[in-house]
């Protein structure tokens, strides 16, 4: 049976990985500065992560959300502690970023009983119904999803946000603290704080989509913590399981839960929790957030010696190198000739760097040397 053909593929077949490196079926070694699209947080096949999952697999991998599963509470406690959100939020577990956003939008709408969502140009929030309808890409919105009431506004335009909220029918404002797929643009601190104020005054929920920017990638546990703002709802996923599918939604305590409000078969399974717990343990034990800050500073310093780089965008290890030409060919050369994985964005001049959070200065040197050769 043929696979439904929706992904254009590079001609590389990874079969093995360790830390920040991946090997293909010809035993060629690649430097991974893409992290499988920002997913690999603690590094590939981390020994403690493997051991924790393997142990869980031999005990019990899955049951359902109708029984006691103390691993969910352990994950929640560790996440609350490391993120600093433990006192003010509660956790709902699911399996993907889109599902996290889908649930975030539902929670907002259940809470204030309104339905229109404000989202932003170049935003990406996933491909389920509500999530895709707040994504600024007409090509991926099917007619069945196009009826959700959504208004897409320019990022950082507080007058436009205020004017829409004053109409009285807005349930939530959803924004990425750092735009991923769109190309590393960021809301300013001033904008986020103004949005927080106007949403609070009008009983509108602020959803800060940390699916990609969360879990230490920005140099803080959550990227919005760079701006001293607090969300009502924080969806997250990618780095949470280091490749195991797990997502979550942090929901502020003033939003009350009720039985049946949300639900999922797979979310919060024993195996997913084991992966999630191992990730949090390693981020803490190996001081990976400190490493993100250190490597960010080193990366920015090294990039100065490159010609043709217009600017470095993003925060922490969620970075974009903007050139004054389209980078498609450069990405191909990096993969096929230099054996380095990088990412692309909707902004075709942007090379995205999303490495595992334990990447080293030596790894960055390998990348800089390769770029110098190619530019």
Which parts of this chain interact with ligand PLP (CB under 6 A)? 96-98, 101, 124-126, 176, 180-181, 209, 211-212, 237
Instruction: For the CB of residue 36, give the shortest distance to ligand PLP in the complex, in Å.
Output: 11
Minimum CB distance to ligand PLP smaller for 219 or for 241: 241
> How many other C-beta atoms lie within 10 A of the C-beta of residue 173?
28
Instruction: For the CB of residue 153, give the shortest distance to ligand PLP in the complex, in Å.
Output: 17
DSSP strand pairing (29-32 vs 340-341): parallel
Instruction: For the CB of residue 176, give the shortest distance to ligand PLP in the complex, in Å.
Output: 5
Residue 308 forms beta bridges with which residues?
none
Instruction: For the CB of residue 28, give the shortest distance to ligand PLP in the complex, in Å.
Output: 27
Instruction: For the CB of residue 101, give the shortest distance to ligand PLP in the complex, in Å.
Output: 6
Provide the H-helix boundaries in 97-250: 97-112, 129-133, 158-165, 189-201
Minimum CB distance to ligand PLP smaller for 31 or for 105: 105
The residue whose Cβ lies closest to ligand PLP is 97
Phi first, then psi, for residue 294 (nearest 5°) are: -65, -45
Distance (Å, rounded) from C-alpha 155 to C-alpha 119? 9
Instruction: For the CB of residue 337, give the shortest distance to ligand PLP in the complex, in Å.
Output: 27
Minimum CB distance to ligand PLP smaller for 38 or for 219: 38
End-to-end CA distance of the chain: 42
Minimum CB distance to ligand PLP smaller for 105 or for 371: 105
Give the number of C-alpha atoms closer than 13 A to the C-alpha of residue 290, restricted to the C-beta side: 5
Minimum CB distance to ligand PLP smaller for 267 or for 371: 267
Please state the three-class secondary structure of 87-130 as a single string: CCEEEEEECCHHHHHHHHHHHHHHHHCCCEEEEECCCCCCCCHH
Minimum CB distance to ligand PLP smaller for 52 or for 101: 101
Contacts of 159 (CB under 8 A, 6+ apart): none
């Amino acid at each position: 049976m043929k696979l439904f053909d929706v992904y254009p593929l590079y001609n590389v077949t990874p079969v093995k990985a360790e830390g920040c490196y991946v090997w293909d079926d010809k035993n060629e070694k690649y430097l991974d500065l893409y992290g499988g699209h920002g997913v690999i947080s603690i590094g590939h096949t981390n020994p403690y992560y493997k051991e924790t999952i393997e142990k869980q697999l031999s005990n019990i991998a899955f049951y359902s959300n109708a029984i006691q599963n103390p691993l969910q509470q352990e994950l929640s406690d560790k996440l609350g502690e490391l993120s600093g959100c433990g006192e003010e939020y509660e956790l709902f577990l699911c399996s993907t970023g889109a599902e996290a956003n889908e649930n975030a939008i539902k929670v907002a709408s259940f809470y204030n009983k309104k339905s229109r969502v404000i989202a932003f140009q170049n935003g990406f929030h996933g491909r389920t119904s509500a999530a895709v309808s707040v994504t600024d890409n007409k090509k991926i919105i099917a007619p069945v999803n196009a009826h959700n009431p959504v208004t897409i506004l320019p990022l950082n335009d507080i007058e436009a946000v205020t004017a829409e909220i004053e109409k009285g029918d807005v349930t939530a404002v959803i924004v990425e603290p750092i735009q991923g797929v769109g190309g590393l643009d960021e809301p300013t601190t001033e904008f986020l704080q103004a949005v927080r104020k106007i949403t609070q005054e009008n009983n509108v929920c602020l959803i800060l989509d940390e699916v990609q920017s969360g879990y230490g990638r920005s140099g803080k546990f959550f990227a919005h913590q760079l701006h001293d703002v607090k969300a009502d709802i924080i969806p997250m996923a990618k780095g949470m399981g280091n490749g195991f599918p797990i997502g979550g939604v942090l929901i502020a305590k003033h939003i009350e839960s009720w039985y049946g409000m949300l639900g999922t078969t797979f979310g919060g399974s024993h195996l997913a929790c084991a992966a999630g717990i191992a990730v949090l343990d390693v981020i803490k034990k190996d001081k990976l957030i400190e490493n993100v800050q250190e490597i960010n500073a080193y990366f920015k310093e090294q990039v100065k010696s490159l010609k043709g780089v217009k600017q470095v965008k993003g925060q922490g290890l969620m970075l974009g190198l903007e050139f004054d030409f389209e980078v498609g060919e450069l990405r191909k050369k990096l993969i096929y000739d230099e054996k380095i994985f990088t990412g692309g964005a909707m902004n075709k001049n942007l090379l995205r760097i999303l490495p595992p959070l334990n990447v080293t200065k030596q790894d960055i040197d390998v990348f800089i040397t390769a770029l110098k050769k190619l530019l």
